[in-house]
Structure 1
């Protein structure tokens, strides 16, 4: 019998519709897409305003989700999915883009403030806690003269696109390690790559 401790929700953040596909702000979608691809799963529409795929990692049931409200409203579908699947908050991993780390760096942590990310702020408010796991996918800072909004809603540069598959695989590896071996092991593998830990 599957218990709550055996179930995970991996929620990748992004904006729905084809207009935003492949943009930097949709890095969370890209990571869960990679996990679904690895495990031969396909996303389907869910009544809780999400697209969902279910996979198994190390004998544990994992729900992959892409909330289909805009990113700053991610909290409602994430909270609804936790309730529907009976998953505790400490088995929630949110995958999001992050301007505080350079492109090519990703970090895993539990808790913390939203640091200006409206998706994380929405989830904190909906869950009334920050005590969930976050995988932050570094984008770096916008170039001088470029606003944050236009930067995150733009496509990755051709140079970034060459590296992107490797980064997505590294993040997918970290998620699988998190589920099977715990946060400490996953952090040591993921946080040890790229720039110094912040």
Structure 2
């Protein structure tokens, strides 16, 4: 009986065809569409709508995965991958359009580059390819996902531009800070796990 239970857990973890994984895959497919909208026709309204939809689906896929017991290894890989690709695509779009300075566009992905050493170290010590996402990491990502549409809106002429700029920069600065703080916590976690 215990063997059956272990098999069931592994089978559940190895699922691919789940609603949350479908939402994450759709988010991944939206990344090149977003870049095209921003850099091609400069359809900022559609680009902002796509960003907002991506942010909502990010929240929804996690909610559904827990509520419907559809968490999986694939989901734990593609969900943060989709987040990072959206962040990177948005930073590229914002920089190339002159909306944000280069230092902000480099500060966010630099954290991920500096943490590339972690998966091989975790594997060598018998842990999964990545640590579970920390609450601060989720909060930082969420703040950045709020910041980017607001910064796009702030780059236009209109009554909303100044308000969007204030809130957009507040979310961008807090999001970047939380994103880096979560990175520090991941380093601490890896050091504790691999001490022995």
**Fold agreement, TM-score > 0.5:** no
Higher RCO (C-alpha 8 Å, min separation 6): 1
Smaller-chain TM-score bracket:
under 0.3
Greater Rg by CA: 2
> Which of the pair is proportionally richer in strand?
1
> Which of the pair is proportionally richer in helix?
2
TM-score, normalised relative to structure 2 = 0.27
TM-score, normalised relative to structure 1 = 0.27
